[in-house]
Structure 1
Amino acid sequence: MGMAPKPPENTEQAQHIKRKLSVARTLVLATYSGLLLMFTLLTLFKAEPNWPLWIVQVVPLLIFAPGLKRGYHRTYSWLCFVVLLYFTWAVTNTLSPLAYWRDYLAVALTVILFSSAMMASRWRQQWWLWENRH
């Protein structure tokens, strides 16, 4: 079991955590939007769009939109679990001899999304502890 994050000890540390959280949150939102946009554009520009596949790709991500908007640390944690599925799919496609640029892009987006969501979750918990202490 993981260790619970420690709250910042002073205002300077708290402000540093807030800045890191802001950067992580920006990265999460950018890569999250990037994945949604990639899936949508790839579906729209096909000669015969596969809408059921698009729904399967996009709906699991859209479930997290309200929690990401509010900045809940549990939303970031659960998003990490779901992103692992996308990562597995992307890496499998990338290692195929028929790999396309979109597969490499999906790997990059999922790695950045996972890492930034993981850190945003931790820093959000620390910031929450600081806010409730003071």
Structure 2
Amino acid sequence: MRAALERLEQRHGLTQLAQRTRTVVLVSYVALATLLVVGGLQLQANSESGMLPLLVRVLPLVLFLPAILTRRPRGHAWLAFVSLLYFMQGVMLMTLPSAAWLGMLEVVASLALFVSSMLYARWRSRQLRG
């Protein structure tokens, strides 16, 4: 795997790879946040707990927004690990017949966020090292 990534770096360059993965990070981040808001609103409609389900679902993701906006590689690496929590949540949602579609979309978005965040952290840190 390492050799394949190094061949990609030589073929396309770190700058172009970092830009491409940043675009995927942004798209998957927005998609996952949208899915979490939709799921949180569904939970809110089915319970009397107010905004708490929505807040609990979205807050961990929102905490990484400054790291994404400032393009910090370490923040993207931590975002990748947190996205695995949303992967697990999506797998759990897939077991519910009424929310299987939402779970599947959440799994896909969180996996895309995980892979793109890890690759961005790798390529951006190598780019900054020079």
- Could you say whether these structures have the same fold, taking a TM-score greater than 0.5 normalized by the shorter chain as the test? yes
In the alignment, which residue of structure 2 is the partner of 1:19? Answer: 16
Report the CA distance shift for 1:46/1:59 in structure 2 as closer, same or farther (over 3 A): closer
Q: Aligned residue for 1:86?
A: 86
Once the 2 structures are TM-superposed, how far is the Cα of residue 46 of structure 1 from its aligned partner? 7.0
Deviations 1:59-118 (A, max 9, x none): 100100011001000011100111111111111222x15252111100100110000000
Q: How does 1:71-82 map to 2 (within 5 A)?
A: 71-82=71-82
Match of 2:113 in 1: 113
Percent identity for Structure 1 against Structure 2: 31
Any conservation in 1 of the 2:93–2:102 contact (CA below 8 Å)?
A: no
Quote the Cα distance in structure 1 between the aligned partners of 2:28 and 2:68. Answer: 12
Amino acid at match of 1:36: A
Output the CA distance in 2 between the equivalents of 1:47 and 1:125.
40
CA contact (8 A) 2:25 2:117 kept: yes
Q: Which consecutive aligned stretches of 4+ in structure 1 deviate over 6 angstroms post-superposition? A: none
The Cα RMSD (Å) is 2.4
Normalising to structure 1: TM-score of the pair? 0.78
Aligned to 1:58: 58
Aligned residues: 119
- Provide the rounded CA distance (Å) in 2 between the counterparts of 1:53 and 1:46: 6
Aligned equivalents of 2:41 and 2:112: distance in 1? 25
| Bigger radius of gyration among the two | 1
| Whole-Å separation in 2 of the counterparts to 1:45 and 1:52 | 12
Q: Report the Cα offset of residue 44 of structure 1.
A: 4.2
Residue 36 to residue 89, structure 1, CA distance change in 2 (3 Å): same
Which SS does the other structure have where 1:71 is aligned?
coil
Structure 1: gaps (5+ residues): 1-11
* Map of 2:129 onto structure 1: 129
CA-CA distance at 1:43 after TM superposition: 3.9
3-state secondary structure, aligned to 2:45: coil
Q: State TM-score, norm by structure 2.
A: 0.81
* Cα distance in structure 2, aligned partners of 1:35 and 1:21: 21
Cα separation, 2, equivalents of 1:26 and 1:121: 13
Of structures 1 and 2, the one with the larger relative CO (CA 8 A, separation 6+) is 1
Shift in Å at residue 36 of structure 1? 1.0
